[in-house]
Structure 1
């Protein structure tokens, strides 16, 4: 090839490769969310973990949220325990030069090929449930600029044994043509308990006057963890983020991550080889290629440079790193590492004791250690659980304004559920929970229903509709409630509260000053309203209404069926018993409704199935 041809070839190659590399640095990562258990997380397709921007006041994507949920909430109620996390890989090429792959926890991402994320659900209540697989698995697959193909599988179970844990399995394959040596694989993490710092003292690890986290490493279980303290001894109430307006400790958990498995390293040295934590503020420039050299980062990764290691008595906005190595990886060979992440602490009930519960906060560390030990046992068992709970039933929660009660009903599953791992462990009880505070609790037990007990069958079984029915008549007018129904088998194994209503239920709402949120329930109406009073079997409720308005219901052809004029300053609900203005019962079909008032108009559709 002559020199001119060579120049053209090089220019072609350069402009062919450049868009891939630039895109790798500037692309917006796709993400999926784990939201099955008590610990919620956002996982991205390029190796990073955590919400795209956990500080965004208009987004609720989880960032190691504990307790997690709901999907949409007031940002001040969100419990992030992490800003971001990532994956580092460094080593030596065959010619002895050092390489360093940085995928987070900041914006730099060294990828050249990213596959679409794959989220698979395997919920215990789903047909075809596979007991030896996780309930949620999200697979990320990408290739780095050093021809290392990474497959990361994150796994989640709702089972109470594992509901506070997320498992990350990494398979790192050398797809280059030459061996690489002295390879270290690291997991940088910006754990930070918790976003409630922002609520309590208007900042989340963004200023030296507000840094308040301690970090430790537990070599016995290879876990690094952190917890919330106070930025100043003058603010003792800040331990656990006491929020006076709510009378609650808002950050009650210890957050940690551990190396649960790693393939044998060269030389068999103890692992992790690096367990490093430093002050993030003023030091970020040392932890990214945008402002530091490949050699400097590699030396932090492999543990050679510990000059920024923080002393144990320093309060931090932590930068944390654990790494495993060294490895020699020949072409085609794969290294497997499993990392567990968990948050655990005192219960929501105790958190509501306020400052008097601060002395109980250290008990959260024992809970975290127990959680991580159970996680390690599961990994040692190749992710095959030894016990499966019965499924939580699918529930319907309906407020009953006229009776000032809330009804919860569900189809019976006690006779159709067979435990695939222990067929003799049949469903014994249903347990009804209620929270008058929020989706995350705390929850109280309202009742335990045992289907085999005649008195329970007589009291709670709705034979006419073949369903279990619980009527909660102990509510307060205008109060907002959250419900869950769990299942318990004969071994006393209980399911998780996977069926909670994300929006609070009120038995009676006050009038509103607009028509933006008018709702109709039940919609669709199927056979019966679900209200416990037989006289209300046909009731349909309009809610979030102005005090004074007119409701009209039309057939699909535009014929007026019912007009209701209301003027009620005490309630935002109106009940329609499905009788037309001519006192005729409505037929099944699609109906249109309007709400007209001086403060606005709302329209919608209503489906009646009988």
Structure 2
């Protein structure tokens, strides 16, 4: 009987292929990096973003550095009238999901990632830059619809097993959210092994989480360090009228104003009390004014079972949707204090712990305008910030019963171009605070006034708060996707291989065909390029296939326009003709494979031949002047280049008094080598006169004539000046 019950439970969980004694460390993670939103998922069933250096996760937009938005997802379970595997009775029993409880109350059993197709290989000058990420995927399933599926199974000391399934999509209109399906099943398994310890109902099961966002990591550089853990984050909610609308069908054309009934909550960076300026959007006040925190991050509830016997969506769930003080919650400690478990259960029932929470719209009820400089942490005085607070239940689960909850988590906001434009305009007004400016608002109207009058802040914040509409559109698309059974139109697969090769007079790009070429709607390929750094704007430089200037599909393109010693970055996408996309579940038109599959994040250069004479060596720029650095190499301001150098040489750099500060080994056979002006002790050099000693390390012959151009040991000295 026991064996039959175990077999049935395993089949219900869908983990037939997992060894019964599977056991994972709590530190194991799986990374999803295929779309605009990228993140990791932990084996123990929830995420704390701290990686011992910074808060990592929920990167959006993933094109750029420092765009992490995650802090923590506090995850609690509670039940009533419970007898544990040791025979101890608890009137209320609780579990908190944290790495410290792995092996005590949490027992991770499975964490794997399944891809629809193998990850393409991307090479830059022979270096496989995709190699470090090939291990992200455990299995391939060409029949699945999502690009990636992460499966996570955790047993608990309650005898409740959680199967968490994360669905990720790379389609360009659906790559900024993850759909998360949670299956809570009464297996009776309270540890790692396959033995079933409990065979009793789980009564009054309550499920809850408190989710906090930093929105975002870069923004904390300008708001203040406390925002790195979300101390200044605002929270609001929607969905108060869900019961009146939950059977309503929405499409891509449904107005944003008619989506307010969706069960959701989201967060963004608010004001820090100690800042003397309006920091909404986290403008970079030290440089261009670019908005560094335009993100809105949050959760929409897509489905909650009414009961184990009724799988229809329960419009009365969740029982709590609102806000809660971030670090204010009952601590379970070593899990022997029943009083703390009772307090946790009460909180999961919707009663704010210590009164520091609510189901109201936190932002709207504590401000009167978008320019009010209210620090949200001062409302409840919790230094941890404010969590989005969600509770479900109660549910009664007999042995073998399960409950399914489905959510989507997404991030969106102003794009980088708008952040630069709006921020620069605001910074200009701040620089001349008494001068009157005219500002264009999101609705197309204009407003005039000065920074001192608060008009510039109103202009800036009006644009930042368009993110409310953006995140609601993300939530709507996630719901449409889920309700359709993931029937969103699919983009073509990317090329299976992409190669970038630096050359003497060109940079050559080659690729292998997309597996989607045999589909009738396949369009062709597009190549995009950026200069100076990988996380900047890209421009299309070539296209072939349907509707392009090069209708014949090819698999090679030579970029002959690069300039010497500038860094170039590329990616390639496959596109279709849009005939599979009628505009119901996203905007109509052609769809493209994700840039993140083929993004060459290492630079290629125009490689010039080595100098013919060691006396031809020169240094550019010389002098280097920090005030003119933007005129030197695009987006590489701290760079000087040794040109016309021998193919194989050692460049030793000294101060004027003879201190050796750096050695560059030049081994690629070209005539150029760059230096970032950092010493071997990782210090940026100061103003002064420097001496470069260039010594040949290998005999070199003219590749055409065979003439010996220079011998190992030949050397030359050059002086150069740095002005900082």
**Match of 1:300?**
347
**Is it true that 1:479 corresponds to 2:579 in the alignment?**
no
Alignment CA distance shift 1:125-1:211 (3 Å): closer
Is there any run of 5+ residues in structure 2 with no aligned partner, and where?
1-22, 84-89, 121-138, 189-198, 240-260, 367-374, 378-384, 427-459, 579-589, 608-639, 643-650, 654-661, 676-691, 718-724
The CA deviation at 1:505 is 3.5
Q: Aligned match of 2:488 in 386, 394, 405?
A: 386
In 2, Cα distance between equivalents of 1:324 and 1:149 = 16
In 2, Cα distance between equivalents of 1:364 and 1:27 = 38
Aligned residue pairs total: 494
The CA deviation at 1:389 is 0.6
The CA deviation at 1:205 is 3.0
> Which runs of structure 2 are paired with 1:161-560 in the superposition (5 Å)?
161-176=173-188, 177-205=199-227, 211-219=231-239, 220-232=261-273, 235-236=276-277, 238-243=279-284, 244-245=286-287, 247-265=289-307, 270-280=316-326, 284-290=327-333, 293-305=340-352, 307-309=355-357, 311-312=362-363, 313=366, 315-316=376-377, 317-353=385-421, 354-356=423-425, 358=460, 359-382=462-485, 384-393=486-495, 394-400=497-503, 402-403=504-505, 405-413=506-514, 417-419=517-519, 424-426=520-522, 428-436=523-531, 438-450=533-545, 456=550, 461=554, 467-471=555-559, 473=561, 475=562, 477-491=564-578, 492-498=590-596, 499-507=598-606, 510-511=641-642, 514=662, 520=668, 548-552=694-698
| TM-score, L = length of structure 2 | 0.61
**Match of 1:138?**
150
The CA deviation at 1:412 is 4.4
Contact 2:223–2:272 (Cα < 8 Å) also in 1: no
In 1, Cα distance between equivalents of 2:521 and 2:419 = 35
Cα deviations by residue, 1:105-148 (Å, 9 ceiling, x for unpaired):
x8555634322421222238779762543222222211111111
In 2, Cα distance between equivalents of 1:304 and 1:381 = 36
Contact 2:546–2:577 (Cα < 8 Å) also in 1: no
The CA deviation at 1:55 is 5.9
Is there any run of 5+ residues in structure 1 with no aligned partner, and where?
1-23, 71-76, 462-466, 521-538, 553-562, 566-575, 584-593, 600-610
| TM-score, L = length of structure 1 | 0.71
In 1, Cα distance between equivalents of 2:425 and 2:704 = 53
Contact 2:693–2:716 (Cα < 8 Å) also in 1: no
Alignment CA distance shift 1:31-1:149 (3 Å): same
**Match of 1:46?**
44
Q: 3-state SS of the aligned residue for 1:204?
A: helix
**Is it true that 1:153 corresponds to 2:222 in the alignment?**
no
Contact 1:90–1:184 (Cα < 8 Å) also in 2: yes
The CA deviation at 1:88 is 1.6
Alignment CA distance shift 1:469-1:191 (3 Å): same
The CA deviation at 1:320 is 2.3
Cα deviations by residue, 1:168-194 (Å, 9 ceiling, x for unpaired):
211111123111222111232122211
Q: 3-state SS of the aligned residue for 1:162?
A: coil
Alignment CA distance shift 1:194-1:206 (3 Å): closer
**Match of 1:64?**
58
The CA deviation at 1:163 is 0.9
> Which runs of structure 2 are paired with 1:1-80 in the superposition (5 Å)?
28-51=26-49, 53-54=50-51, 56=53, 62-68=56-62, 77-80=65-68
The CA deviation at 1:34 is 1.0
Contact 1:45–1:117 (Cα < 8 Å) also in 2: yes
Cα deviations by residue, 1:81-116 (Å, 9 ceiling, x for unpaired):
111214321121357711111104x85556343224
Contact 1:390–1:489 (Cα < 8 Å) also in 2: yes
In 2, Cα distance between equivalents of 1:299 and 1:325 = 12
Alignment CA distance shift 1:66-1:431 (3 Å): same
In 1, Cα distance between equivalents of 2:214 and 2:70 = 5
Q: 3-state SS of the aligned residue for 1:130?
A: coil
Q: 3-state SS of the aligned residue for 2:178?
A: strand
Q: 3-state SS of the aligned residue for 1:417?
A: helix
In 2, Cα distance between equivalents of 1:234 and 1:320 = 25
Alignment CA distance shift 1:418-1:279 (3 Å): same
**Match of 2:242?**
none
Q: 3-state SS of the aligned residue for 2:79?
A: strand
Contact 1:194–1:204 (Cα < 8 Å) also in 2: no
